[in-house]
Structure 1
Amino acid sequence: MRRPLIGIAIGAALVATAAAGIVYAPAALGASDDAIAQASDAVDDGKMALTYATALNNVVAASDVQPGTVTTAVDLAELTADVKALDAVDELSAISLAGLTDDVVKGTAQVQSVTVALSNALQTAEEAKIAEEARLKAEAARIAAEKAAKEAAEQARRAAEALAAANTPDGAKSVARSMASERYGWGEGEFSCLESLWTKESGWNYQAYNQNGGATGIPQALPGDKMATAGSDWRTNATTQISWGLDYINRAYGTPCSAWGHSQAVNWY
């Protein structure tokens, strides 16, 4: 008989309490509407802060540069737990609701602050990398340009030396010997005739000029500008004059010895 009596007693106590204006309700309903609204806003803000922070953590992890900070990832654990707890508003007392709301607001601000700082640090690191890459590229370009200029100067020096050497009588003969052999297959016998022919004509002087007729250069081209077909530098380059002269002999006489024979016979070729 005692259990039914106890049940009746409890029911009577609840009725008496209700009559006195004291109501036992779910915890969240024990809080004010403003407190519940603040909790809801805090949850939304917290979730958004977590979303941004998670995205940033993923970006940092995938980036080939790292921010120059001690922190390389936003710590999400505490705010995640607090947001989850505050999101279960119906399970909280009014006091717990207020406390958790305050924790989430503060945690959200902290996560946002770290997120901004980390984002700025990553951006600074990326900009520094871009600047360094640009510096290295510019440095490589400078080195390449200096190398190219040095090589060009060296080539110009060698070309000038080669030109100077070829423009001497001995140098011109050396060039003619090689060119006659390589281009036309003429051996030493033919070169001997060529040497005699152009010794007679100009003394192998690329600056030779016949005041009477205007014949010019080592092969004594008449007029001299005929040699422009072999190169625009025909006035200053013995090699260009030799190239034209050998081609002329080949076309007009077939060989240097034939040209030399004609010169001996009529005093010109």
Structure 2
Amino acid sequence: MSRISVRGFAVASATAVTTVGCVVGVASGSTVQTPSEDAEALVGDSTLLADLPAGQQAQVQTASLTQQADSQAIAADTTAKKDAEAAARKKAAENAVAKQKAAEKAEQEAKEREKARQEAASRSATRDPSSFAPQASYSVADIQAMARQIVPAGQFQCFSAIVDHESDWNYRADNPTSDAYGLMQALPGSKMSSAGADWATNPATQIKWGLNYMEGRYGSPCGAWEFWQANNWY
């Protein structure tokens, strides 16, 4: 049996008993104590649950269990609220990261589309080598002017850097120690026949072949120039 102090219930019971005693005492001429004095004398500082009638014991136990259940419910609600707030913060952080990644991806795709558009526009502005009328001879200025009209604008500087190092813009440059020939020093020179039968005398044909070679092997003249800088050949 639980030993629970039930001072309130004991005082109430003692008061009831003392009230009856008062009536009897008055009738017999005995000295009567006040109800509060009798209650305090009966109860003292504390009363045990076992000292109460069964009905009152049940009331006390029910009240105690109800209080415990209320406390547990409040604690559970508090924990659930904290868990919900933590989950909400985590979800918000995840959503923010996802939005940032999506924005970065969209920005990168936009840049790639713009780059492709510019390259397409540059290609559309170039001339086909066959559109240049053949000449008996070509100066460096003539050849460079051709190259500017054949090579995309954004790639010309890289293309020009390679030609500077390979042949110094001499379309008849012939390496005496190998079969390398022309502006790009194709090895052997006859490889340039894929761009035109006049590969040995027409710088426009050589430029076309060189551009196709650089794009096919390195992705672009700038890719070829990057490789050339690291290896002194391409």
Provide the TM-score with structure 1 as the length reference: 0.36
Query: Higher RCO, 1 or 2 (CA under 8 Å, sep at least 6)?
Result: 1
